[in-house]
Structure 1
């Protein structure tokens, strides 16, 4: 308070920023700051309250920090131990130092303890040949560094025909040399998404988070020998160097059908073509399970078969499978092959690899097997063929074994055709309890009759109270015996070789392609169910690559154009639900727009299903920061629902609450408050206070209260929501975490920074695990935690948090998403906290320019950024510019958020400080007088 002239202690001296130190203002000079008139004095009470709080909360803070420290130290010590210690198989497995002179003298005998063997497949038991290239690769990759020669990352490229054995060779190499590498890792690079997912898993192994950047960073920093296999790098439009961890460390093995990939090699490359003749014969006889592998007479019978098949590994294995299963004998095989070759050559296959003989050789071997299965005319054979055709229209890797059982279970439900009211109510109560996904529920399970019955494979049409797993197992085993699919028992999935996958699809005519593309998509969609059990969540997320492939194939067959049947709409909305759950709202939005337009045309805008589609789409718009589109849809839903159902109907009130949340996002906090209050009161009357919809509305109201400067009113609402959700859904449920995050930021607004820090650190850790490190809500929580760190004086830690996610925010959300605004704003605050005024100025100047363009000049986030920019100008000595901005902000904030809002008060306080520094004490007194008048008008519950 300024009452004439007096001493003013500047902030840098009165409350300097110190690491891990809380700041608080006392009405005292330097000489009086540790002197108190009495135990009842306000200054003493502030200090005493802080000390008591520290003592009370010390055990939680210490425990949390020790847990993190132990986890970090355990990882580092494990790495250091592996760097220093190996085990000598020739000396009773006693440990030795890897740098000992004895080892330097005999590098070829050096062995490391392999800690990570992150490889998805086992090498085939009949792998044969390629010994010469194995020796070359060993000499290149395992070669000891030469003194005075520049170090470089060792990359070897294997390129050549599909089916020539590149992947199996790599599997054999890593198996034989596992004790030469501390870690061996595998990436399926058939798509960018798959490669990034694999790198994210590597990042998790290293304890740095589930992002592909974390995986790259962890590998880059390892001092121990590691090998990375990048398999299926076949797409000429992708620059696969993006998946090479930077730096000179590590060993990388690349397989590709594209010979241009050899440009990435640093230590050599090898073209995989046809096998050596004798190796090819051996492989054929092994695959046929023939006893005469070493019998020269038998080998002579096999020789023309190997030659006819072009000595191609995959074709030889397939031929051997046909012989092994009695389709024909070794002596008969060429005649059988010739008869099928005529048929294949008459079919309209797409040319591949630029070689007719290549195509016909390999395709014919598979066709022999498939037509043998078809000729069996048994239930198992029919199931096997149909399952093969389903697998051909989704991704070829990691197909969950449970997909068919899950799809069958859903297909047995009567509600898949007509959802009975009683059952609908039960499912609704279950699924709507998860508020994040409640917006898309009714689209995932439409209650209207199917306009066309979905076609399904026969195995899903079986009836009975239990799933016949034995029937599925028999069909899969038949495909596996004929070497058409590969089983991975360790994670209960199935895969196909990319060439088998391509052939299984291309062997069908156009009509059958369309049919089986639709059947595969239907099977995939049926297997998707709600629920937050970890196994159900993991299953849904495992489907992303399969949904991507299914939609791409249907698009190529023009099956996605002008589809208006209910079955199709239900299917794409389920796919949209998966994308939404995984935070890929762009893909979700595209499907939801199609669904909404279809339902609007077919049912009309007033139909409940159309309103549900509009609500789901609005939620994606909301998350994509398309505020105006979300606002337009949600207003329409509220108005239409009020007319059709009534203003006090629960669906209308729920839509009203969602509209309030969008008003909050758009910066219309004053308009959002009465709407949110009306929704909460109405839902309490119609559904009860503990209903999930009511809890969601209460959370939204609490958020609005907090951003309206009323954290005291927000806290009890959010505590109630958090406790209720924790009891109903568990502590790790995404909606429980949402309430927890809002509660943490309410404690932040109330000044309880220690409690806020503990809560947000838990939210960040759990969201990383439950949603993934790149999910928008995880990035949001990291931003919130950075705010707390800044206000605690931990600006360096805050900066590190934000710098680490900046690239992820840019890539996943975009440069103009509101999440990017949030990240840059908090980064600027971290710079301010470190007195890096130039960095803060540059960041805020760019941010304000972007916000004015995207959010508008009066949006609260724009006003907040301008306030921090003016504060930066003040510390840079540009007082005139700072004064102009603060004067304008006080007027704008008073109108938009109210004169009592903390932001308005802070701007007034900053302007007062500028006046004081310029000796304009009367004008400073006017600022203080306005602040006192505002506080006097506020209810006690709103003063902070």
Structure 2
């Protein structure tokens, strides 16, 4: 049923005839037709439920839906079906009266019927309960309905039940002013409607649809089934309540086309109004068009008021509500009915209702879209393979695929496109197709440029800086640490870092403290246009690969932007706390690799920071090359006795050790130990750290006596300086115990390991991995001593805790299981040994 304006004429009341109001009833009275009669009643009730007349009035639609449920329950009844059917035929009379009145008078009478319709639905629900109970017991309907209508006799129960139905009819007649003796042609038309409904060609009542300037989807629309299904399910729920759905994502991702496809496939909406939501002015223009179409006024507020008054399934489609400053709320009808769909680049609009992020297509759909838009005929397996390669480099973005298809269609260049794209991607993504499949007038790059032009200078700069970082896992910490840079002697001077410092100062308060709110204000601008996506679970930003590439393509001065980016990264690395060095280095490694691709662009020298990070991240060859160059320069500038040079030598020695180049590591460590003794003293903690590193190198060379000598000194001095319970002291004791074991001093090793284990338990707890490692080593020492029972006690606990902390299949867990299997074998428990040995070797 189409919507009608207040000024439109009221439909005439259907012709009336004298006589009692009689519902439609099947003409056959034979028992073989009982089920057929109920089937026809069901079809008639379903037709009424689906009819456009009832759509805007959920209390009527709900009552009719409950009646359909009751009829189906009666159809499946095993007992007293005839009694039930006669009552249902009387109830059908109520539905017929409602449909006649709503058809004739619309909302004017529907509002007055609200209370009685809600009473009607409660009555039907009571009947459903009675039917269910009757089917569950041996008593017939006449027995079960006794409690339902609280009557003392079967005949009184039926009479009382029919009386309630008649009471409802009387209430409706009183409200609508119907003469209780009238008959209507509605009854004859019902039979025709029912037979039309059960025709195989008419499976559902179709709601007439009236659209306001809403275009169809692209002829080559492809895929997006998951989002379309989610939208269909959402709008099918809670009929009669207002629904709002938001599709948000990057420009060019296909949000508008998804909605147009959804509208095309939906038949339930009485009116569809398309609203260009680019600006306040375009919204107001669209709303004024609604007022003209409905002849209801001349302002946007008049349109909103009219929608509020229309209790129908209208759909309001706000397209391209991209401006973050746009207050869309004031244009949303304040009512509990109607449907609204919004497309936007701004994910913040998802607060209005249910939502779907829209990004890249599925590969299979992307291939089909490319071949369709490229007008490729007689498709071969080779064409599909080339299309797959093309959509992959376009990162499955719909607009980029359609542009590529237009180029392929124009030049027949499916085979050449990838080579052309590799050399001319900037031009190809800017080129507007001369032939198009939709009304979208922008290219991929111009779409994003329009968003970029709306950014503040700080936000635009941030996005451009990120174009030289890796496109994923961009964190606030990178910039926060850089703002805390303290200008070490091995790094660039303050004068060289004026530009990055100027940029970072925007996120610092008057006292120099980092201002997270200022940072979020800038980054939110970018995410508001979906030029970047924020992941709250990791507190990091990511950028679509094509946007990442485009943001670098548009740089007017790439060299200066690169200088700022790589300086900020270097400054950030320099401020990583040593306790978090490995974890943070792994996070930053992709960004460092990205920056190093453009190192020919020059800039302030952060080779030292970069070399350190590569070392922490176990990228030893890369770290070694960088640190050797920094060390040589530092020696030239400050001499070999410079403390920074000694630190670099220590790092290089660690890298040599990791690479298995133990002689080079020893040579550097000996030099560092001697120089630190001379400069810092034999008891300085830095001196002791290098001594322990040198002892480790001796140990790996098999020179256990030399390792023991150094470790004894370190343990004694750390005890005196740090105390017996300091973790650094315990670390040295643990290393010495390992050396004792290699020298065959098993009792000495056991004594140290017992002390270390107890102190770790006290300081770190039983479930700390370091504690478990010490426990595992002590178990192995007991095994070497032949005390397999004590070894088993510790090994069992070590296996359990490694499983709980690391999982069943972690290499350390499997190693502990193999050790436990060995201990069980020594104890003669071969079954246990077999179990743990098999599980460790063949984990399932």
Give the TM interval when normalised to the shorter protein: 0.3 to 0.5
Higher relative contact order (CA closer than 8 Å, sequence separation 6+)? 1
TM-score using structure 1 length? 0.41
- TM-score between the two structures when normalised by the length of structure 2: 0.45
